[in-house]
Amino acid sequence: MVPIGVMGASNAYNMIAGYNGLEAGMGVVLLAFTAAFAAAKGLWFIVYASLVMAAALAAFLVYNWYPAKAFPGNTMTYAVGAYYAGIVVLGDIAAFGLFMYLLYYVELVLFIRGLAHGVYKENFGRVQPDGSLLPPYERSYSLTHLMIRLQRALRGRATERGVTIGLLALQALIGAVALALFLS
């Protein structure tokens, strides 16, 4: 089961991607909350391993934030997903790790929905002359599409930076809920 879990985590982490700062930022949030959980449980190796990767991703994020000067590509996303799975397995914190991946399950469901409608989705929105984004399809086949729609509804326009910040905030909310659930 472990190899399948590592492969699944690696591929899942690669699914929410394509925006400046998104992949690295999601990793920082995932790993920071995992470090906090591990610290509360006294799993110090997991704390250190989580913080080392979070620090590396934060350093990369300096160059990957909008407008990005460096891009992660699949190599980084697959590696971070596999690393996260390794941390979860080594710390024996599978339930917490699975909960932290909640957004990635939603992304998979939306992706399958797209396939059912004959769409092999593209995450990025349609860029407008003013730099704002419109949803790329009539329906949402990614969390990025939902975030574009939400921003347009709340702010009147969506931006790449806004999509990234919105998804990072959502991941942080999931992290806070995970800490509350698993530490109570």
- Which pTM value belongs to this model? 0.95
Which residues, at least 6 apart from 71, have a Cβ–Cβ distance to it below 8 Å?
Answer: 64
Mean pLDDT of the 106-129 span? 95
In angstroms, rounded to a whole number, what is the distance separating the alpha carbons of residues 18 and 35?
Answer: 26
Query: 15-49: string of b/e by CB count within 10 Å (b at 16+)?
Result: bbbbbbbbbbbbbbbbbbbbbbbbeebebeebbeb
pLDDT digits (tens, 9 = 90+) for 170-184: 999 999 999 999 998
Q: Would you say residue 1 has pLDDT above 90?
A: no
Report pLDDT digits (tens) over 8-57: 999 999 999 999 999 999 999 999 999 999 999 999 999 999 999 999 99
Provide the token pair at 24.
Answer: 């690295």
Instruction: List, in sequence order, the alpha helices (H) in 14-123.
Output: 22-41, 44-64, 73-91, 94-100, 102-116
Q: How confident is the model at residue 2 (pLDDT cuts 50, 70, 90)?
A: confident
Q: Could you state, in order of their start, the residue ranges of all structural domains in the chain?
A: 2-182
pLDDT at 23 (0 to 100): 97
Q: Where does the pLDDT of residue 162 fall: very low under 50, low under 70, confident under 90, or very high at 90 and above?
A: very high
Mean pLDDT over all residues of the chain?
97
On the question of pLDDT at 104 being above 90, the answer is: yes
User: Which pLDDT score is estimated for 71?
Assistant: 95
- DSSP type of residue 17: -
